[in-house]
């Protein structure tokens, strides 16, 4: 059985880091239970939310 992706979790049992096979490590940052930012290699993805709704993703 081959390993395709390695996951690590924070103390609140949320995915904090994932490492896909042959790709850059991806770090995730949360505010409460909501994913706010994800960093992977030189890329950053940020989510902007209001009232539980996703308003924008950059």
| pLDDT at site 14 | 92
| pLDDT at site 28 | 92
Other CB atoms within 10 A of residue 27 CB: 15
Residues in the chain predicted with pLDDT less than 70, given as ranges, are none
| pLDDT at site 58 | 86
| pLDDT at site 24 | 87
Beta-bridge partners for 47: 57
Domain that holds residue 17: 5-57
For residue 39, give both structure tokens. Answer: 């960093």
How many domains does one find in the chain?
A: 1
Write out the H or E segment, with its range, that includes residue 1: none
Residues 6+ apart with CB under 8 A from 13: none
| pLDDT at site 51 | 85
């Amino acid at each position: 059985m081959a390993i395709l992706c390695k996951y690590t979790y924070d103390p609140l049992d949320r995915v904090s880091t994932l490492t896909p096979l042959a790709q850059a490590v991806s770090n995730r940052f949360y505010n409460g239970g909501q994913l706010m930012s994800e960093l992977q290699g030189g890329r950053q993805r940020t989510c902007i939310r209001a009232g539980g709704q996703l308003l924008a993703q950059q």
